[in-house]
Amino acid sequence: MRAALLAGATLLGLAGGARADEQHFPLQSYRVGPYAAGGTGFFGGFIDYLNLINSRDGGVNGVKLTWSEGETQYEVERGVEVYERLKSRPGIAAWNPLSVGIAYAMIDRITADKVPLITINHGRTDSTDGRVFPYVFPLLLNPYSETSGIVAYLGTRAGGLDKLKGKTIAVLYHGSPYGKETIPIYEKLAKTYGFKVEQIEVPHPGNEQQSQWLTIRRLRPDFVVLRGWGVMNPVALKTAQKTGFPVDHIVGNVWSNSEEDAIPAGDAAKGYVAITTQASGTEYPVIQEIVRKVYEPGNGNLADKKRIGSVYHNLGVLNGILNVEAVRIAQGRFGKRTLTGDEVRWGFEHLRLDEAWVAELGAKGLFHSINVTCANHEGEGRVTFQQWDGTKWKVVSDWIAPDWASLRPIIEASSTAYAKEHGLTPRDCAAEEQADAGARNTAAEHASAESR
Amino acid sequence: MNPDFAFLVEVIVGGLLSGVMYALVAIGFVLIYKTSGVLNFAQGAMVLFAALTFVSLLERGLPFVGALAATLAVMVVLGLAVERAVLRPLVNQPPITLFMATLGVSYVIEGAAQLAWGTQVHGLDLGIDDTPFEIGGVLVSRFDLFAAGVAGLMVAALTAFFRYTHTGLAFRAVADDPFAALNAGLRLPRIWSAVWIAAGLVALVAGLLWGARLGVQFSLSLVVLKALPVLVLGGFDSIAGAILAGLIVGAVEKLSEVYLGPFIGGGIEGWIAYVAALAFLLVRPSGLLGLRSVERV
C-alpha cells in the first residue's frame, strides 16, 4: 500500500522538478504491471542513492539532486508519453528507462534534445560506439560483451576455452528483439571456439516451455544459457527440473539473474548460476550507508526492507553511482552548477572509475570498474557469476573481462551501417579529445594564473 | 523402446498434461458463458487474484487450510461483487458491451491485486514433488499428473453438479433458454451470482496449480492466452469440450514446436494453437462440443 501511495505521489510529480541549483532525473519507472518487481527494485535503488547523496553530501558539490517519476508499466507508448511530459523540466541530467523498447523509441528524441540516455546492462549493442550514438550509453555491459563473458565463464567450467571445442551449448532465448539480439554473436563465438550452438526460441511471455526443454533433453547439451525475461526464467528452471536437466548447468544472462527469477522456481533454482555486473548483498559500505542514512530516518524507497541489497536494488544503486559520478566529473569541467544534458554527456564520456575510486565510493566488491570514452560508451565493465543457494545469491567467480577487442569490429560494422542508413557522420573522437585536452590545459593555466 | 519413439511419446504426454492445465483456465470461461452468454475476460485476473491472495496469506503465517478457506471466501465475495456491481446493471446489453465490461473488470482486479498484496513475485509450494519419473524411457512430471488428477476431479464434480443438483439443472435451464427459465420461475440473478462464485472457485484451483508451476506473479493473468484457443476449439459452452480441446491444443503445440519448429524458425507454439483452432472453426463454428446455435430468420 505504501509503495502504491508513493507511486501515486510521484506520478503526480510531487518529488518536484529542478530549480537553479538542482540537477534533475526524470524516471520512466514501472511500479505496477507485469514487471513491477524489477521496476520497484531498480528505481528504488536509484532513488535511494540520490537520497543518500542529498542527505549525506548536500547534493553533488552543493547541487541538489531531484527526480520525478512517470509510470510506464514497461510499455513503450507510455514511456514515450512520459518522456514528452517530463522533458521540459529544467536541468535534466539523463534518462534511465531500464527498458529496451522504451530506450529504442527514445534514441532519436534524446539525440535531438541532446540529453544522455543510459541503458545500463542493456540496449542496442552498436550504441556502444559513441561516434555514431553520442547520447546513448549502454553502461557496463552490452549484449555482445555479456555473451562473451558467459562463454568465457563456460570455458572456465570446461577447464579452459580450448576445452569448449566439441561441446554443445543451447541458448534458450526470449522471443523478442531483446532475446534475438545475441543470435549472431553466439554463432560467431561457436565458430571461434569450436563448440556447437543450438538457439531455441521461447515465445513471449514464456509461461509454457515443455517443448523447448524436451528438445534440449534430446540435444543433451553440456550447458544451457538462459536469455530470459520475467516469468520465462522461473518457468525455464522448473521445466528443466521436470525434464531432468541439471540446474547447475544452466547459466542465466543479466536479465535472468535476480531473486525474482529464482524464488518462484523454488527448489528447482537451487544451484542455478547467472551472470551479473554487480554483486548482491548488503555488506558493501555504500549499501550500509543507505540503510543508516536513508532507511533508518524513514526515507527509503523500498516498501519491503528485506529487498535492500537484492539484485535489482543494487543495480539501481550502481546506476545511481554512475549517474552521480558523471555529473561530478562534468562539474569538474564545466563548473559546480546545474549542467545541461550535453554537459552531462561529456561527464559520462569521461566516466573512468578505477578500483581505487570504486573503493572510495564504498562500492568495492559491489562492482569492479568502468572506463567510458568518447568511442566506447559501454566502458569495459567486468562481469562475475553468482549461484543461487535456495535463499540468496553467492558469487562463485572472479571478475571476468569479456573479449572486447574481438567484439569491437562487429560493433563498428553495425554502427557504421546504422550511420549510413540514417545519414550520420560519425564523430572524430580523437580530435574531440585533443580539443578537450587543449581546453582543459587552457583552463588549468588560467586557474593557475588566477591563484598566483 | 526405440529412443525416437520414446521421445515422440514424451512430447505427446507432455503436451496432453500441459493441455489439461490450459483446460483448467478454460473451464472458468465456460461456466460463465454457459449460463450468461458473457465471455469473461477477467478470468485470468481472477486466477492471479486468487493465487496472490492465497500465497500472501500463507506468507503472513496462516496455515495452509486457513489460507485456502480465507481465499475461498475472498473469491466468493469477488465473484458476487463482479456480478452485482458490473454484470447485473448491464443485463440485456449487447454481448460486446458485456465483454468490454469484463475487460475493464480484468484491469481493476489486476490493479487491486497489486495494490492489496504488493508487486513482489512469490514461490508457491503445494508439497507436490516436481521431479520426473520414468516409464519405459519416457519422463513424466509428477506435478503435471497431480494437476491432471485435480482437473479430472473438478470436471467430475462439475458434471455431477450440472446433472444431479437442483442448482445445476437450473444453470442448464438458464443456459438453454433464459426467458423460458424465467417463465418457469427460476431466479436468474441468484443463478448468475452462483455461477460467478463457481467461476471464482475454478479460478482458485487454476491459480494454485498455475501458481505452483510459474510462481505467483503478475504474468499469471496471461494464462488466458493459453485458454482462448482451447475455448475456440472446444466450444464456449462445453466443459467436456474444454477438456478435450485442451488436450488437443497441448499436443498440437508441443508436436508442432518440436517437429515443425526447427524448419520454420522455432517459437511457433504461441500461435500454432490459434491456427489449429481457426482451421477447425471454419469446419465447425460452434467448436468440438459447443451447442450449434439455430436461429429463425
Q: What is the mean pLDDT of residues B34-56?
A: 92
Strand A223-227 versus strand A250-252 pairing type: parallel
Separation of alpha carbons A46 and A40, rounded Å:
10
CA angle A25, A29, A34 (to 5 degrees): 170
Lowest mean pLDDT among A260-274, A339-353, B108-122, B178-192: B178-192
Interface pTM, i.e. ipTM: 0.86
Q: Is A327 helix (H, G, I), strand (E, B) or coil?
A: helix
Whether A223 contacts A154, CB under 8 Å: yes
8 Å CB contact of B214 and A218: no
Of B241, B217, B213, B211, nearest to B227 (Cα)? B241
Write the pLDDT tens digit of every residue in A405-447. 999 999 999 999 999 999 999 999 999 988 887 766 655 555 4
Of A221, A266, A241, nearest to B141 (Cα)? A241
CB atoms within 10 A of CB B71: 26
Does the structure show a pLDDT above 90 at B120?
A: no
Provide the pLDDT for residue A127: 97
Whether B261 contacts A211, CB under 8 Å: yes
Q: Is B208 helix (H, G, I), strand (E, B) or coil?
A: helix
Q: B190 CB contacts (<8 Å, ≥6 apart)?
A: none
CA distances from B267 to A9, A97, A174, B257 (A): 41, 28, 9, 7
CB pairs under 8 A between A and B: 130
The secondary structure element, H or E, covering residue A182 is: none
Does the structure show a pLDDT above 90 at B173?
A: no
The secondary structure element, H or E, covering residue B134 is: strand B132-135
Distance of CA A439 to the CA centre of its chain: 32
CB of B143 within 8 Å of any CB in chain A? yes
Domain boundaries, chain A: 2-141+281-382, 143-276
CB-CB neighbors (< 8 A) of A40 in chain B: 119
| pLDDT higher at A318 or B156 | A318
Nearest CB neighbour to A214, from listed B10, B124, B223: B10
CB of B14 within 8 Å of any CB in chain A? yes
C-alpha cell at B265: 524458425
CB of B19 within 8 Å of any CB in chain A? no
CB-CB neighbors (< 8 A) of B222 in chain A: 34, 205, 207, 231
Write the pLDDT tens digit of every residue in A279-298. 999 999 999 999 999 999 99
CB atoms within 10 A of CB B4: 9
**Sorting pLDDT into bands at 50, 70 and 90, what band is B184?**
confident
CA distance B155 to chain A (A): 23
Whether B98 contacts B83, CB under 8 Å: no
8 Å CB contact of B14 and A211: yes
CA distance A352 to chain B (A): 35
Domains A2-141+281-382 and A143-276 share a fold: yes
Separation of alpha carbons A290 and A52, rounded Å:
6
Q: Is A12 helix (H, G, I), strand (E, B) or coil?
A: coil
| pLDDT higher at B293 or B57 | B57
Helices then strands, counting H and E runs in chain A, come out as 16, 13
CB atoms within 10 A of CB A340: 16
Q: Options 3.30.70.3190, 1.10.260.40, 3.40.50.1860, 3.40.50.2300; which CATH number does A143-276 get?
A: 3.40.50.2300
CA distances from A300 to A28, A39, A102, A304 (A): 19, 15, 27, 10
CA distances from B237 to A25, B41, B51, B225, B290 (A): 53, 15, 25, 18, 6
Question: B137-152 burial, b for 16+ CB within 10 Å, e for fewer?
Answer: ebbbbebbbbbbebbe
Separation of alpha carbons B228 and B163, rounded Å:
26
Provide the pLDDT for residue A16: 47
Distance of CA B115 to the CA centre of its chain: 24
CA angle B103, B154, B216 (to 5 degrees): 50
CA distance B122 to chain A (A): 5
Interface mutation vs chain B, best among A6, A73, A202, A211, most B CBs within 10 Å: A211
8 Å CB contact of A3 and B139: no
The secondary structure element, H or E, covering residue A225 is: strand A223-227
Separation of alpha carbons A16 and A7, rounded Å:
13
Does the structure show a pLDDT above 70 at B47?
A: yes
Domain boundaries, chain B: 3-224
Q: Tell me what percent of chain B is helix, strand and coil, each rounded to the nearest 5.
A: 75, 5, 20
CB atoms within 10 A of CB A443: 11
**Whether residue A205 has a cis bond before it, omega within 30° of 0:** yes
Write the pLDDT tens digit of every residue in B217-270. 888 888 888 899 999 999 888 888 999 999 999 999 999 999 998 888 788 888
Of A128, A99, A98, A133, nearest to A114 (Cα)? A133
CB-CB neighbors (< 8 A) of B130 in chain A: 238, 241-242, 268
Separation of alpha carbons B84 and B71, rounded Å:
20
Separation of alpha carbons A377 and A381, rounded Å:
11
CB-CB neighbors (< 8 A) of B108 in chain A: none
CB atoms within 10 A of CB A410: 15
Nearest CB neighbour to A210, from listed B7, B14, B215: B14
Q: What single DSSP character describes residue B291?
A: P
Provide the pLDDT for residue B293: 65
Domain A2-141+281-382, CATH? 3.40.50.2300
Query: Could you state, in chain order, the average pLDDT of each consecutive group of 10 residues for chain A (452 residues)?
Result: 42 46 96 88 98 98 97 94 96 96 95 97 94 98 97 97 97 92 96 97 89 93 96 94 94 96 94 98 98 97 95 98 98 96 98 97 97 97 97 96 95 97 96 80 52 42
Q: B128 CB contacts (<8 Å, ≥6 apart)?
A: B142, B143, B146, B212
Of A63, A62, A69, A64, nearest to A46 (Cα)? A69
Separation of alpha carbons A249 and A265, rounded Å:
16
Written as one string, the DSSP assignment of B168-198 is HHHHHHHHH-HHHHHHTT--HHHHHHHHHHH
- Nearest residue of B to residue A172 by CA position? B267
Between residues 151 and 210 of chain B, which touch chain A (CB distance below 8 Å)? none
State phi, psi for A226 to the nearest 5 degrees.
Answer: -100, 110
